[in-house]
Amino acid sequence: MAKDFYETLGVSKKASQDEIKKAHRKLVGKYHPDRNPDDKNAEEKFKEVQAAYDTLSDPEKRKTYDSGGGLFGGGGGAPGGNPFGGQGAPQGFGDIFSTIFNRSGGGGPEPMRGRDLETDARISFDDAMAGSQLTVTIPKDERCPTCSGSGAEPGTSPQTCPRCSGSGVEAQGQGFFSISQPCPQCGGSGQIIPSPCHTCGGSGVTHQTKRYKVNIPAGVKDGTRIRVAGKGEAGMRGAPAGDLFVTIQVAPSPIFKRLDDGNLEVDVPITITEALRGGTVEVPTLSGTKRIRVGAGTQHGAIQRLRGEGPPRAGTKKRGDIRYRLSVVIPKELNDEQRRAVDALAEATNGDDPRAELLRSARARSPKGSDD
């Protein structure tokens, strides 16, 4: 029996979506096939984690899983698969009611779209700014190349189940409320395979490790989720495959800080003399360096900006800005010449008191007669 999805991810049933996401990222990094190339057990663990995350990360799927336990979440079978153990058995509430009231319509189970897959990919800050292409490795079920997903040996075909006449269900009881169960002969698929495919054993799918190239747009943010259409699990009975979703993790930059507004910020140290006299200083950009003007009398923490030098704006040809926060660096020690220069500056500015207005306001608020 498959593990409970919450147990698989190591979270409680009351876990938030953020906690589920963090647990998924941690386990994906631990069991990823690229990190465990010779460990088949790690590959199976990786697939279990993906299946659990696929259900619990989707609010609607999670709600269904929580309300039905193993019935809807795959607890009685393979993760994300058929809860009744046979291909084509009912999966959702609509199918359950069809089964209970014996209203399958006689057409047999419907084709079932393949399961979506999730993975993470880490890229450098520079690649995120410039855009790049990366390759992700995904263990997944693919349509069997020998039987093209039919499950039957080439030259043969699946046959309509003689017990249920292809409906996939078997009625028990009488009247309007007769209850139907998945057909025990065909497992609910409506078909039997006299000659199972020698490659897939009649399942119609084979477990493979696939590599896909993913295009990363320039300016991508940390946590961006990229959809790769049709690269999820294979669909059942000719249904389309699911999608692959790649969550991008952007490594931090030692130079640039990304702001919430999409711009970048850099701390730039300047000397006391540069702050006093002004001048030009060299600063980093995404494509090298440039020089910016520092005005005379620049204060500690002042901001200078280079417009259009920041990250690309998603969906446009525009770029953000780079903000430079200027930090005045105070020497920890002075030599004799520097000390004489500072003394001369202090004497020349003896009449200046930068705290005069502050103290004047404080004294005005103090009780009369106070010496403090």
Joined together, the tokens standing for residue 105 give 């319509």
Model confidence at 76: pLDDT above 50? no
Instruction: Say which range, 254-263, 310-319, 326-335, has the weakest mean pLDDT.
Output: 310-319
- Tens of pLDDT, residue by residue over 217-247, are 999 999 999 999 999 988 766 678 889 999 9
What lies within 8 Å, CB to CB, of 144 at 6+ separation is 151, 197, 199, 200, 203, 204, 205, 206
Which among 256, 97, 73 is positioned nearest to 176, based on CA atoms? 97
Domain ranges of the chain: 1-81, 107-252, 257-365
- The reply to whether 1-81 and 107-252 are identical in fold is no
Confirm whether pTM is higher than 0.85.
no
Calculate mean pLDDT across residues 264-293. Answer: 95
Joined together, the tokens standing for residue 120 give 């993470």
Percent of the chain scoring above 90 in pLDDT: 35
Query: Residues 316, 318, 320, 321: what is their CA dihedral angle, to the nearest 10 degrees?
Result: 180
Q: Quick check: helix, strand or coil at residue 330?
A: coil
Tell me how crowded residue 140 is: count the other CB atoms within 10 A of its CB.
22
Strand ranges (E), 196-263: 205-216, 225-228, 244-250, 257-258
- Tens of pLDDT, residue by residue over 126-154, are 999 999 999 999 888 888 889 888 888 99
Four-way CATH pick for 1-81: 1.10.287.110, 3.50.50.60, 3.40.50.800, 1.20.810.10: 1.10.287.110
Is 98 exposed, middle or buried, given 0-12, 13-18 or 19+ CB atoms closer than 10 A?
Answer: middle
Q: Could you tell me which CATH number the domain at 107-252 has?
A: 2.60.260.20
Q: Could you tell me which CATH number the domain at 257-365 has?
A: 2.60.260.20
